[in-house]
């Protein structure tokens, strides 16, 4: 299902044969599929994470995290709405909050729309 573009599997850091069965989350491939299946009843948090995962996995290996939503090359990303706080991320300089409903970023906050230009 992943190869034909219906789903995207978010795996953890386990590699090799052991990692084949280690899927932490399964996302629909893109937000259009979500809207076609459930319409107005869709979960906005899932839509945000699906969009981020769909856009960023094109050029990056994305793995799951126990503390945040995603890890990419030792950088952690927490995805949320405009009121998302930084409580979940560490202050190590390698953590980012990806917020929906904002126009521009600041410090370690990146607008969600910016990942749409990843292609």
Residue 61 lies in a domain: yes
Residue 44 lies in a domain: yes
What is the domain count for the chain?
Answer: 1
Residues 42-85 pLDDT 10s? 999 999 999 999 999 999 999 998 889 999 999 999 999 999 98
Residues 78-106 pLDDT 10s? 999 999 988 888 777 799 999 999 999 99
- Domain range enclosing 44: 7-117
Please answer whether residues 33 and 53 qualify as being in contact, where contact means their C-beta atoms are separated by less than 8 angstroms: no
Nearest CA to 60 among 75, 45, 48?
A: 75
* Alpha carbons 87 and 11: distance in angstroms, whole number: 24
Show the tokens assigned to 12.
């953890």
Nearest CA to 99 among 24, 37, 8, 88?
A: 88
Residue 43 lies in a domain: yes
Q: What is the pTM of this model?
A: 0.88
Residues 11-48 pLDDT 10s? 987 655 555 567 889 999 999 999 999 988 999 999 99
């Amino acid at each position: 299902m992943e190869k034909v573009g219906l789903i995207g599997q978010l795996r953890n850091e386990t590699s090799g044969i052991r990692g084949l069965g280690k899927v932490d989350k399964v996302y629909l491939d893109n937000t259009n599929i979500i809207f076609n299946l459930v319409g107005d009843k869709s979960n906005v948090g899932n839509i945000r994470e699906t969009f981020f995962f769909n856009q960023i996995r094109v050029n990056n290996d994305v793995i799951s995290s126990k503390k945040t939503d995603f890890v990419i090359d030792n950088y952690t990303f927490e995805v949320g709405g405009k009121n998302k706080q930084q409580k979940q991320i560490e202050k190590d300089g390698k953590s980012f909050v990806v917020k929906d409903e904002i126009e521009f970023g600041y410090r370690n906050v990146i607008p969600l729309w910016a990942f749409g230009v990843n292609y």
